[in-house]
């Protein structure tokens, strides 16, 4: 594909297709087991555009679908969540409805929590969440996804609807952002914790900083402790910094 060679592909289009179809089956099973014949799919603009479109096509035709969109974001032009979620959309229309919220990435869970709470306050009969990517994080998430396609570590991802400062939403795959040959980590999000910096398996901080995943994250993103300090507990802090 022209232009893809300059992007580092994390998840290819075929893997995305298979994962979306699998999640669609899970959603349909949930709907059948709960007697849901009509579902309102509320997709979050702009990042969930491609994911929502493919998911809708993968859902069975006998499940009635009503599609709406809402704008909710805590990122702006930043690579990591920068403020409390701002929601723009008519949530009040979902009273007595079964709603599936479809979003691109779940990190802190703040945006999804705000949406689900708003739906509950509006009188929705049920409200479930579905995300393309769930990030592994260092602190308790505000809400977990009911359905998800992939789990990812700390590196910033884009493509397949996700943008990098407004660009690259049209890529058919999910790519990872690199800076000077290294991954750009998202504040408060864990890298792959199966290996430490030295390549040895690590289960936590050794106290020395050598091969310590938590050390790498804490050193790079100390500012995160100011950002949402209520999620940082003494036992979770890295002892080597």
pLDDT tens for 140-151 read 889 999 999 999
Find the DSSP H helices in the chain: 13-33, 49-58, 110-121, 213-220, 224-227
**In terms of residues, how long is the chain?**
241
d(CA 188, CA 154): 8
Question: Which of 17-31, 129-143, 163-177 tops mean pLDDT?
Answer: 17-31
For the cut 70, the answer to whether the pLDDT of residue 186 exceeds it is no
Residues with Cβ within 8 Å of residue 126, at least 6 apart in sequence: 34, 36, 98, 99
Per the listing, tokens 């703040």 go with 110
Do residues 4 and 171 lie in contact, with contact meaning Cβ atoms separated by under 8 Å? yes
For the cut 90, the answer to whether the pLDDT of residue 60 exceeds it is yes
d(CA 147, CA 105): 12
**24 pLDDT tier (thresholds 50, 70, 90):** very high
Residue 149 has a pLDDT of 97
**Pairing mode, strands 147-152 and 126-135:** parallel
What percent of the chain is modeled with pLDDT above 90?
Answer: 51
Q: Which of 161, 166, 141 is nearest to 149 (CA)?
A: 161
For the cut 50, the answer to whether the pLDDT of residue 102 exceeds it is yes
Residue 131 has a pLDDT of 98
Residue 220 has a pLDDT of 35
* Tokens (6 digits) for 176: 């990872």
Residues with Cβ within 8 Å of residue 107, at least 6 apart in sequence: 80, 81, 135, 137, 186, 188, 189
pLDDT tens for 75-94 read 555 455 555 677 877 898 99
How far CA 15 is from CA of 11, 211, 218, in Å, comes to 6, 31, 32
How many CB atoms are located within 10 Å of the residue 239 CB? 14
What percent of the chain is modeled with pLDDT above 70?
Answer: 66
d(CA 166, CA 237): 34
Residue 153 has a pLDDT of 86
d(CA 155, CA 142): 20
How far CA 107 is from CA of 135, 145, 203, 221, in Å, comes to 5, 10, 21, 15
Do residues 67 and 41 lie in contact, with contact meaning Cβ atoms separated by under 8 Å? yes
Neighbour-count burial for 193-215, b at 16+ CB within 10 Å, e otherwise: beebeeeeebeebbeebebbbbb
Mean pLDDT across the stretch 66-77? 77
pLDDT tens for 109-140 read 999 999 999 999 999 999 999 999 999 888 78
Active site residues per annotation:
107
């Amino acid at each position: 594909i022209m232009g893809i060679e300059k992007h580092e592909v994390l998840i290819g289009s075929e893997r995305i297709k298979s994962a979306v179809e699998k999640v669609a089956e899970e959603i349909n099973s949930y709907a059948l087991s709960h007697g849901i014949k009509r579902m309102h799919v509320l997709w979050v603009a702009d990042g969930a555009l491609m994911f929502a479109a493919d998911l809708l096509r993968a859902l069975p035709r006998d499940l009635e679908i009503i599609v709406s969109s809402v704008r909710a974001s805590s990122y702006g032009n930043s690579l990591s969540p920068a403020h409390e979620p701002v929601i723009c959309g008519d949530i009040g229309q979902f009273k007595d409805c079964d709603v599936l919220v479809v979003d691109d990435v779940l990190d802190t869970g703040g945006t999804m929590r705000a949406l689900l709470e708003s739906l509950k306050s509006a009188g929705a009969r049920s409200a479930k969440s579905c995300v393309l990517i769930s990030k592994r994080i260092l602190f308790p998430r505000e809400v977990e996804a009911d359905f998800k396609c992939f789990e990812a570590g700390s590196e910033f991802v884009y493509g397949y609807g996700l943008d990098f400062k407004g660009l690259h939403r049209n890529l058919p795959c999910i790519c990872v952002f690199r800076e000077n040959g290294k991954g750009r980590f998202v504040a408060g999000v864990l890298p792959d914790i199966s290996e430490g910096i030295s390549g040895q398996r690590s289960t936590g901080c050794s106290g020395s900083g050598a091969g310590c995943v938590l050390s790498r994250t804490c050193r790079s993103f100390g500012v995160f402790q100011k950002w949402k300090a209520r999620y940082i507990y003494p036992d979770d802090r890295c002892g080597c910094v």
